Structure 1
Amino acid sequence: MKCLLLTLGLALVCGIYAVVIPQTRKDLDILKLAGTWHTMVMVASDLSLLVTENAPLRIYIKEMQPTPEGNMEIVLLKRWVCPQGCGRAARVKDACVELTVIAQKTKGPAVFTVNYQGEGKVTLLDIDYEHYLFFCLKASTHPKERAIVCQYLARTLKANTEVMEKFHRALETLPVPIQISLNFTQGKERCRV
């Protein structure tokens, strides 16, 4: 009995450090995610994830396409700044680059794993296939165990106040506080190729 209580206590203590992102979706039609998306808002639990233009998780989603295996191919844009010492050989010192990552389906209805900046987990919070998508990325290689980045994506570049409010309500359910929010609804500072 003492071992059982000790095990239960240890499990509870260790469980405190896990970040569980709540899901509102119980089903997902991956085919309806296909097409163009625009990053409207980015938020993060840690300033270092978004604060600079070339921050590790400051990515702009451009397009999604399902794969025959049921995974999702995601085309994203990322600002690349030439590191000090890259020399004159580098033709472009500050540019947006296009990257493709594969989000692999898991047993969760709206959860994927990705290998971007290390192993990560993407959780879709809410979806209106025709208008918006809310998701969060938990990067496992980040020094802060509970660091996450969330985005509000839209099908068009037009901002929707009601959807923005819905996104902020979804963020209130997260287990970590949000420290930084970047709003791109005015079209400023978008990364384009």
Structure 2
Amino acid sequence: MRCLQLALGLALVCGLQAIDIPQATRNLDLRKVAGMWHSMAMAASDISLLDSETAPLRVYVQELRPTPENNLEIILRKREDNKCVEKKVFAEKTECAAKFNIKDLEENQLFVLDTDYDNYLFFCVESTSTAPPTLMCQYLARTLKVDNEVVQKFDKTLKTLPVHIRLFLNPTQVEEQCRV
């Protein structure tokens, strides 16, 4: 059993290191991603990260705020103790414009995989502090309108990553997301 866990962990780590950030997002313009967003779909490498309203990575992004230093403040909502709480996560820039370090959450990194700035943004958060390492991805939209082409694009993007669990939210679920 230990060998199986070690093999799975090693495979996931190798897969995470292979995350390719598309050329379009390598030159990410943070000012253009600023503003309000809605979590439309979530995916994770481990179902326990998303399986309930209080799961550790079941968070709803509300707003992205670039800082003057090109870091990113992420305003999100999460259910804790049977109520919604607002949290702020600080993502520190790296050499790559689409990659950020998140020290608040141990050894996590955030990758922006794709965006058109006006309609959608796909990102993943990778944690290497857990055994095995974990990956959570989200599709964010500017409006609550479901765009099937973007949903298909998100699903296609996920197929290139070591993500096995997908949770697509319908518009009613998105409207009822955790509110403070």
Q: Please, which of 112, 115, 121 is the counterpart of residue 124 of structure 1?
A: 112
Q: Structure 1 residues 124 and 181 mapped into 2: Cα distance closer, same or farther (>3 Å)?
A: same
| Distance in 1 (alpha carbons) for counterparts of 2:152 and 2:168 | 13
**Distance change (3 Å), C-alpha of 1:15 and 1:162:** closer
Q: Once the 2 structures are TM-superposed, how far is the Cα of residue 153 of structure 1 from its aligned partner?
A: 0.1
Q: Which runs of at least 4 in structure 1 moved beyond 2 Å after TM superposition?
A: 14-18, 140-143
SS across alignment from 1:73? strand
Aligned pairs for 1:1-193 within 5 A: 17-18=13-14, 19-20=16-17, 21-24=19-22, 25-81=25-81, 94-145=82-133, 147-174=134-161, 176-178=162-164, 180-188=165-173, 189-193=176-180
Distance in 1, Cα, partners of 2:54 & 2:105: 13
Task: State TM-score, norm by structure 2.
Answer: 0.86
Q: What's the C-alpha RMSD, in Å, of the aligned pairs?
A: 1.7
* Structure 1 unaligned residues grouped into runs of 5+: 1-13, 82-93
How far the C-alpha of 1:141 sits from its partner, in A, is 2.3
Identity of aligned residues (%): 45
What TM-score, normalized by structure 1, do the two folds share?
0.80
Q: Deviations over 1:63-97 (max 9, x none)?
A: 0111111101110001102xxxxxxxxxxxx1110
Report which of the two structures shows the higher radius of gyration computed on alpha carbons: 1
What is the deviation of 1:15?
8.8
Over 3 Å counting, the alpha-carbon distance change for 1:16 and 1:37 in structure 2 is closer
TM-superposed CA distance for 1:143, in Å, is 2.3
| Letter of the structure 1 residue corresponding to residue 21 of structure 2 | Q
Give the number of equivalent residue pairs: 165
Q: Find the aligned partners of 2:42 and 2:171 in 1 and give their Cα distance.
A: 13
Query: Which structure features the higher share of helix residues?
Result: 2
Partners of 1:97 and 1:61 lie apart in 2 by 12
Structure 1 pair 118–162 and aligned structure 2 pair: CA distance change class (3 A) = same
